Amino acid sequence: MTKKMTITSIKKTKGVTPLVMITAYDALFAKLMEPSCDMILVGDSLNMSFAGKADTLSATLEQMIYHTNAVAMGAKDSFIICDMPFGTYINSDEALKNSIKVFQQTPASAVKIEGGEDKAHIIKHLCSNSIAVCGHIGLLPQTVRLEGGYKVKGKTQEEREQLIRDAKAVESAGAFCMVIEGVKADVAKEVADSVNIPVIGIGAGRDVDGQVLVFSDMLGLFEEFTPKFVKKYMDGASLVKSALKSYSDEVKTKEFPQDIHTY
């Protein structure tokens, strides 16, 4: 990717070319991602893969702001989306106050909030106050404790109809794109076809307008569990462990450092 994406160029990809989104939490990885990805999401999944927590719910706004700034330092030409953490958009006023904090304290281009029809009024309030919003429908990780687990959506006619209503409501509220997570592929396709903004899938099959993956999953660094929808593009954990084992062995045997590493 050579040019930074904008809201306009992102919307124009609909029906033309799939969007590539990935999560990042720090400058080091963000810099590596920039050449290959259209958008970088500073996801609240960082609470799990970076901070080691069991779910995303204890991520704070301060944490999200800190990591968004780190990502922005590494990927200066990327369209960066900051995930609004649990509890920071419980009503329109809170959502606006907290999103303004994100916009004033980071160079993020947009925020992401979870929810469909039920959150449309909040998305509308943010957009009408100049905050660009990426929606997130389907499986909503911030509802994991309420729902008692991560449940794939779109399995019943009722869920299918709700998802289409959610997508339309998010679009009408002014979002420029949305993530659809953990939805049966045929239903995700119908949802994507029902709106004019890009619908970016994660665990939602290929017939959507782009894909997003959590970087530590797709690089095989996160070992706790691997969801069915994740493709590991490398076995990062094994590679890192084997490099560290070599380092440890060489320190113990004094094979490292050699003359070339010595002043």
Q: Active-site positions?
A: 181
> Nearest residue to ligand KIV, using CB?
43
Amino acid at 70: A
Q: Which amino acid is at 226?
A: T
User: Should residue 68 be labelled a site residue for ligand KIV when binding is judged by CB under 6 A?
Assistant: no
Kindly state the number of chain residues that form the binding site for ligand KIV, as judged by CB under 6 A: 11
Say how far apart CA 119 and CA 98 lie, in whole Å.
Answer: 15
Instruction: Indicate the residue among 3 and 25 with the shorter CB distance to ligand KIV.
Output: 25
Question: Quick one: DSSP state of residue 72?
Answer: H
Report angle CA 206, 233, 151 to the nearest 5 degrees: 50
The only residue of 40, 202, 204, 221 in contact with ligand KIV, by rule CB under 6 A: 202
Task: Locate all alpha helices (DSSP H) within the chain, ordered by sequence.
Answer: 7-12, 27-33, 46-49, 61-74, 92-105, 120-127, 144-147, 157-173, 185-193, 215-218, 236-253
- Minimum distance between the CB of residue 258 and ligand KIV, rounded to whole angstroms? 41
User: CA 190, CA 179: separation in Å to the nearest integer?
Assistant: 14
Tokens of 238: 């094994």
Residue 138 Cβ, how far from ligand KIV at the closest point, in Å? 10
Range 74-113, binding ligand KIV (CB under 6 A):
83
- Indicate whether 211 belongs to the interface with ligand KIV (CB under 6 A): no
Which residue in 179, 197, 218, 221 binds ligand KIV (CB under 6 A)? Answer: 179
Q: Which residue has the tokens 């040019």?
A: 3
How many angstroms separate the CA atoms of 63 and 86, rounded?
12
Q: Which of 214, 218, 219, 221 binds ligand KIV (CB under 6 A)?
A: 214
CB of 12 to ligand KIV, least distance (A): 22
If the CB atoms of residues 23 and 68 are measured against ligand KIV, the closer one turns out to be 23
163 is a site residue for ligand KIV (CB under 6 A): no
Does 212 sit near ligand KIV (CB under 6 A)?
Answer: yes
Q: Does 217 bind ligand KIV (CB under 6 A)?
A: no
Query: Measuring CA to CA, which residue among 112, 123, 144, 140 is closest to residue 41?
Result: 112
As given in the structure block, the two tokens for residue 148 are 């008692």
Toward ligand KIV, which CB reaches closer, 164 or 179? 179
C-beta closer to ligand KIV: residue 56 or 131:
56
Sign of CA dihedral 49, 216, 112, 202: negative
The pattern of x and - marking residues 22 through 61 that bind ligand KIV according to CB under 6 A reads -x-----------------x-xxx----------------
Which residues are at the interface with ligand KIV (CB under 6 A)?
23, 41, 43-45, 83, 179, 181, 202, 212, 214
